[in-house]
Amino acid sequence: MRVVVVGATGNVGTSLVQALAEEPAVESVLGVARRLPRWEADKTKWATADVATSDLAPLFRGADVVVHLAWLIQPSRDLHAMRKVNVTGSERVFGAAAEAGVKSLVYASSVGAYSPGPKDRAVDEEWPTDGVATSFYSRHKAEVERRLDRFEAEHPDIRVVRLRPGLIFKREAGSRVRRLFLGPLVPTTLMTPAAIPVVPDVDGLRFQAVHSADVGEAYRLAAVSDVRGAFNIAADPVLDPATLAELLGAKRVRLPAGALRAGAAVSWHLRAQPTPPGWVDLALCVPLLDVTRARQMLGWQPRFDAGEALLDLLDGIRHQAGMDTPPLAPSSGGRFRWRELRTGVGATSG
């Protein structure tokens, strides 16, 4: 089996490449990214391409499976640039897979594709995927789901799988997560349980996380298994203020949701941090995920619980961890993070 991974050098891509290297059914992997990594993995060769502009079909010819992971979260101040990659780029990947005669297509959707939902129970994959209107990330994920629906209807001979994971953490993504979501003004020394004295106790702040290695395993299973359709991917326990406070040894401080959103909005507009307030809306609105289908049909079981995944990420942020790929390299922000400050927080792709 030959697998092409589009977006192979990021948080999930590197985990998937490692998982595929250990899969006996996989003979070779082509990792596709905008910039070549120095990192090497067994069975894997690399190619450069931009999903928004490159001719992708030649890269896909002869492949049994294409896994599409490429996605932009920054620059959050340039919605046109992000949509060109996220929405148009995804549709170009789907079309190129069909043109190349690929048998299976696996797409990285997200919990963010779901419409607002309950926080007191988990929903299955039938929950509507119309997104959260105030989040560009959610709007893009929902729109790509609609385009993939059309693609699937037009190409019934292609096996289509979409995974919808919760928040994805690992230590090696620490430097990148800081650049994408925290920015250069937040000291990395704060990213340790002992340095986080309080957690906000906000109505609706209940979310799920999963370790990147476990998500990579889910994509491996989706690539080599004869399954179709959508799969929720998340680990226990649900992370709410009480669980976070216990995990971090912190106190809960009651905070209105409006105040949390206002703080995010003001700091984003002042370019103090790169995360627009739609991310707060997303966190407070998306439903909890029922992962029964992934467990039963994929045979997927997480090795890390959600708390372990979060602590692994915090350790990575504190120690500026990364990998030798352009997205995950600790040095990509520049010495003393000068590049982030010079170009404007939230103004580059990180």
> Which domains does the chain possess?
2-343 (3.40.50.720)
The answer to whether 231 and 164 are in contact (CB under 8 A) is yes
The answer to whether 79 and 140 are in contact (CB under 8 A) is no
- In this prediction, residue 182 has a pLDDT band, given cuts at 50, 70 and 90, of confident
The answer to whether 111 and 168 are in contact (CB under 8 A) is no
Helix/strand/coil for 246:
helix
Mean pLDDT estimate for the chain: 93
Confidence check: pLDDT of 336 > 80: no
Residue 204 confidence (pLDDT):
93
CA–CA separation, 307 and 236 (whole Å): 8
Number of neighbours of residue 61 by Cβ within 10 angstroms = 13
Q: How many CA atoms lie within 13 A of 287 on its CB side?
A: 22
CA–CA separation, 334 and 337 (whole Å): 5
Confidence check: pLDDT of 251 > 60: yes
CA–CA separation, 242 and 65 (whole Å): 42
Q: Counting runs of H as helices and runs of E as strands, what totals does the chain give?
A: 13, 14
In this structure, what are the phi and psi dihedrals at residue 47, rounded to the nearest 5 degrees?
-145, 145
pLDDT tens per residue across span 66-95: 999 999 999 988 999 999 999 999 999 999
Q: Which residue type sits at 18?
A: Q
- In this prediction, residue 332 has a pLDDT band, given cuts at 50, 70 and 90, of low
Average pLDDT of span 266-284: 93
pLDDT tens per residue across span 205-246: 999 999 999 999 999 999 999 999 999 999 999 999 999 999
pLDDT tens per residue across span 103-141: 999 999 999 999 999 999 999 999 999 999 999 999 999
The fraction of the chain above a pLDDT of 70, given in percent, is: 92
Contacts (Cβ under 8 Å, ≥6 apart) of 299: 221, 225
Average pLDDT of span 239-260: 95
The answer to whether 340 and 183 are in contact (CB under 8 A) is yes
Confidence check: pLDDT of 288 > 60: yes
Residue 331 confidence (pLDDT):
80
